Structures are given as structure tokens and as C-alpha cells.
Amino acid sequence: MMPFEHSTQKTSIRKRPLVQLLTRWWWIFLLAAACIGMGAYAYLKSPSPSAKQTSNAQRSVPVVTTTAKQGDINIYLTGLGSVTPLNTITVKSRVDGQLMKVSFKEGQIVNRGDLLVEIDPRPFEAQLTQAEGQMVRDQALLKNSLLDQERYKELAAKNYIPKQQYDTQIYLVKQYEGAIKVDQGQIDNAKVQLIYCRITSPISGRVGLRLVDPGNIIHATDSNGLVVITQLQPIAVIFTLAEDNLPPVLAKLKAGKQLMVDAFDREQNNKLATGYLLTIDNQIDPTTGTVKLKAVFPNKDNGLFPSQFVNVRMLLDIKRGTILVPSAAVQKGLQGTFVYVVQADQTAQVRPVTIGPSEGDTVSIDKGLSSGEQVVVEGADRLREGIKVELPGQSAGDNSRKAK
């Protein structure tokens, strides 16, 4: 009995792993079948692509629209510029001497002829006195020579003296006359030097920082000068434009038209001043392909400051009777620029357009749009051809009733 029992036990041990393996594969098969069934159920329940498109087409998209209008738009040329004074003067001394007095304050607005500084005049006053004294001496000598000339003339006529002596007296008188002219020149020079001791402003403008303090000895050969004055009213702006814009500008100037120019700050938010185009440079910069232009501004409120950076906008022309829409309505795609036009049935239509000049947030439409049509300005990113739109204050039901 013992050998038989041992054999049966071995057979049972061999069959047990096979049963476990079959059981495991059975559960895997059931799990796979369940997954396949769920996928088939979801596929059968999902709507077809045509049904999705129909559902999307019926669902309206809220948008904001505006009406395309007919009007005028300004054509501007823009460039970068720098404020430049019409006149900048470095005040220098024309005589040597000690700086006695400074009559201006740094940053002060001065007028033409206002006293700026005074130089010690005493050396030049002494020169004037000396020249005047020499003049008096030479005038006395001339007067005496003239009397002698008259006497010699009578004596020479009666042959009481040689004619040579009379001729010598004549030329002596001429020498004294020449000496008096020299004396007069010295007097005038001394007076001019005295005038130069009082330095006045040659222009009206704003003085800068003082470059020399009172008490210093200054010379006419000093390179730095005493102070710098810049003219602020009027003031100029030098800016650049692309060479392609030069022909229409030249045509306007040739026709005698004055082109208005606006100067804006660095962020182009605030208009600083309004002026007019003065002239154009005589050559184009070959490295940048730009040309320099100069505009003049009255600058009554001192809104422009020398060497200030500004953005320049020049009015070239006015385009009249064009279609105007907000720039937010214009979209760009692979086929070019277009707008979404809201049709009578409250659907969006893609309308290719040709844009023209723009001014601020307004752009002109040269082709593709008519006055009175409704264009989308907000919500265009969710639109496509033929989709229903919902305007502010309307519901999807209102749109459906309007479409019917």
C-alpha cells in the first residue's frame, strides 16, 4: 500500500501548477473581453463627425462687433529724432583780464543783450586815457604846423625862404595828420576793449552751468569759455526717414505745402509739441538708407529740451472717403489679411481685405469691405466660416429666430 500512495501523491503535485496557470489565463481573457466590450459601447454611443459639426454649427459664439464707417484718415510718416537748438553759443572773452562779476544764475533764461559777466576794465581805461592824451598832443602839433605852413607860404612867395623849406613844412603837416589818425585808432581800440569787458548775451536762451568762477584770470585764447547758451524758442528736431519716403516729401515741398510735424515722448503716449518741416538734408546716408530732416517747433511751453530723444510723426497727406475699422478687427492668416463680417443670419463670414494707411487704433480698408457692414472686434479667435455668433444683449434663441 505504501508504494501506491506515494505515486498518487506525486501525480497530484504535478497537476496543481497546471490548474493555476489555466485559471490565471482565464481571468486575463475575461479582462480583455471586458475592455473590448466597453470600447465598443463607447464607440457606438459617440456621435458621428457630421453630428459634431452640426452641433458646433448650432452653438453660437459670443462676439463684439462694430460698424465699418466711411471717413478720412491721415497718412503719417514716422521716424526717430533728437531735439537740437537752432543756436548754441559758447560765450568767450575777447580780452584778457580778471573776472570781476557774474550777473547770471545757472539755468536762467536770458534775453539778447542781457549782461552776463564783467571783466576788470581798469587796464583798458588807462589805455584809453593814454591814447586820448597822445591825441591832444598831436592835435597841438598839427595846429602849430598849419600856422607855420601859412607863414612859410607867404615867405616863399616873396623868396624870403627857400621853397624846399616850405615843401618840408607841408609834409610835416601831413605827418601830424597821420599821427592823429593813429591816435584816433588807439582811442577806438581802447573803447572797444572796454566794451568787451562787459559781456552780454548774443541770443535769447537758457544759460548752462558756470564754467569759470569770479576772481579767475581769463584769456581770449581759453577754449572752454565762460558759459554755454542754448536757444529754446524756437527749437529744432532732426529726425530720419527711409529713403523710400523721400519722393512724396520732396513733391510736397516743391508744391509749396507746409508739412506739419508732431513730436512725441519715448513711449509715444504724450504729444510734446507741434511744428512744421523746415528742410531736408542734401544727401542720403548710404550705410542706413535714411535721410535727415529738420523740423522747427515754437516750443512756447519749453516742452522740448536740447538733446532730448523724441518720436516724430509727420502728416504727409489725408486720405478721404475711405472705409475705416478698428485695427482689432483685422486678422492675419496664410491667405493674407481678412475680417469676420456678421451676416444677416447671424453667421460669421471670412472676408479677405486689402488694408491701407492706419492712424492709432484705426485702419483703412482699400478693398473688400463696404460701409455699414458689421465686423467682429472681439472673439475672432473662436470663429470660423459659417459659425453662429451671439452679440451682446442677445441669446442663442434670439439668433435662431433672426436666422429664420
What pLDDT is stored for residue 2 in this prediction?
44
Q: Kindly report the pTM of this predicted structure.
A: 0.65
Domains within the chain, CATH numbers bracketed: 57-68+330-403 (2.40.420.20), 77-86+231-320 (2.40.30.170), 92-224 (2.40.50.100)
What pLDDT is stored for residue 307 in this prediction?
92
Burial code of 307-346, b = ≥16 C-beta within 10 A, e = fewer?
ebebbbbbbbeebeebbbbeeebbbeeeeebbbbbbeeeb
CB neighbours of 135 closer than 8 A, spacing ≥ 6? Answer: 180, 183, 184, 187
- Region of residue 215 (phi > 0: left; psi between -120 and 50: alpha; otherwise: beta): left
**Is the alpha carbon torsion for 360, 364, 369, 371 positive or negative?**
positive
Which grid coordinates are listed for 299? Answer: 516750443
Indicate the helix (H) or strand (E) that contains 278.
strand 271-285
d(CA 336, CA 347): 21
What pLDDT is stored for residue 23 in this prediction?
64
Number of CB atoms found within 10 A of residue 116's CB = 21
Question: Which amino acid, 147?
Answer: L
Helix axis angle for 122-157 and 163-196, nearest 10°, is 160
What pLDDT is stored for residue 268 in this prediction?
85
- Region of residue 336 (phi > 0: left; psi between -120 and 50: alpha; otherwise: beta): left
For residue 100, with 0-12 CB atoms within 10 Å meaning exposed, 13-18 middle and 19 or more buried, which class applies?
A: middle
d(CA 366, CA 319): 11
Are 127 and 190 in contact by the 8 Å Cβ rule? The answer is yes
What pLDDT is stored for residue 53 in this prediction?
46
**For the chain, what is the radius of gyration of the CA atoms?**
49
pLDDT digits (tens), the chain, 404 positions: 444 444 444 444 445 555 555 566 666 767 777 767 676 665 555 444 444 444 444 578 899 999 999 999 999 999 999 999 999 999 999 999 999 999 999 999 999 999 999 999 999 999 999 999 999 999 999 999 999 888 888 888 888 888 888 889 899 999 999 999 999 999 999 999 999 999 999 999 999 999 999 999 999 999 889 999 999 999 999 999 999 999 999 999 999 999 999 999 998 889 999 999 999 999 999 999 999 999 999 999 989 999 999 999 999 999 999 999 999 999 998 888 999 999 988 899 999 999 988 888 899 999 999 999 999 999 888 888 889 988 876 554 444 434 33
80: which strand partners? 311
